[in-house]
Amino acid sequence: MFNIFNIREILSVTLILFSVIDIIGNIPIIIDLRKKAGHVQSEKATLVSGVIMVVFLLVGEGILGLFGIDIYSFAIAGALVMFLIGMEMILGIQLFKNEQDDVSSASIVPLAFPLIAGAGTMTTLISLKAEYETANIFVGIFINLLFVYIVLKTSGWLEKKLGKAGFQILRKVFGIILLSIAIKIFKTHLQF
């Protein structure tokens, strides 16, 4: 079915990516990086994240082909990763570790990659490609990058306004949404 610039698809993609990127949940890490590095280059981090996402969306399937992996198998693997990320968000546990070694390049590593455009995001993009039109995924990426940029620019202010409890509530709500989407993708592509 051809659903180019379908509002429902764009909203779905945007919410899925928002949940996986979890920029709200990463605000404490962003604030810590700002303290260690002195500042974070919001524009640079957003641009590099966008390039990584778009490149993987466009050539990720070709890379999978080199390894003999079809998009549906990758979608199931992506659904499992999304499920685990959702479990992290709901249960407040950490399954995926982020390395923070060099503060001088904090805008790129670990901010742009792997926090914003990490393995979960790349896996999700391939999984989304199996379900949604590429044009709608591009729009969802752009909306998320806009939101990422705003959060990076205003992370200190957001921390004061929402407080720790507000962030925990948002994180859990998006965790449940992500779990539901992961189960839907898994059910769609599981073949007996």
Q: Is the peptide bond before 110 cis (omega within 30 degrees of 0)?
A: yes
Q: Which residues of 161-172 are buried (b: 16+ CB within 10 A; e: fewer)?
A: eeeeeebeebbb
Q: Is the pLDDT of residue 141 over 80?
A: yes
pLDDT for 59: 92
Q: How far is CA 137 from the centre of its chain?
A: 12
pLDDT for 115: 80
Q: Is the pLDDT of residue 99 over 60?
A: no
Mean pLDDT of 2-31: 86
Q: Is the pLDDT of residue 87 over 60?
A: yes
Mean pLDDT of 89-94: 82
Q: Which residues contact 163 (CB under 8 A, 6 or more apart)?
A: none
Is the model more confident about 106 or about 15? Answer: 15
pLDDT for 133: 94
Q: Is the pLDDT of residue 1 over 70?
A: no
pLDDT for 85: 78
Tell me the pLDDT band of 192, cut-offs 50, 70 and 90: low
pLDDT for 97: 61
- Measure the CA–CA gap between 19 and 91, rounded to whole angstroms: 15
Tell me the pLDDT band of 109, cut-offs 50, 70 and 90: confident
pLDDT for 96: 63
pLDDT for 2: 63
Q: Tell me, what DSSP letter sits at residue 116?
A: I
Report percent pLDDT > 70 for the chain. Answer: 91
pLDDT for 12: 94
pLDDT for 64: 82
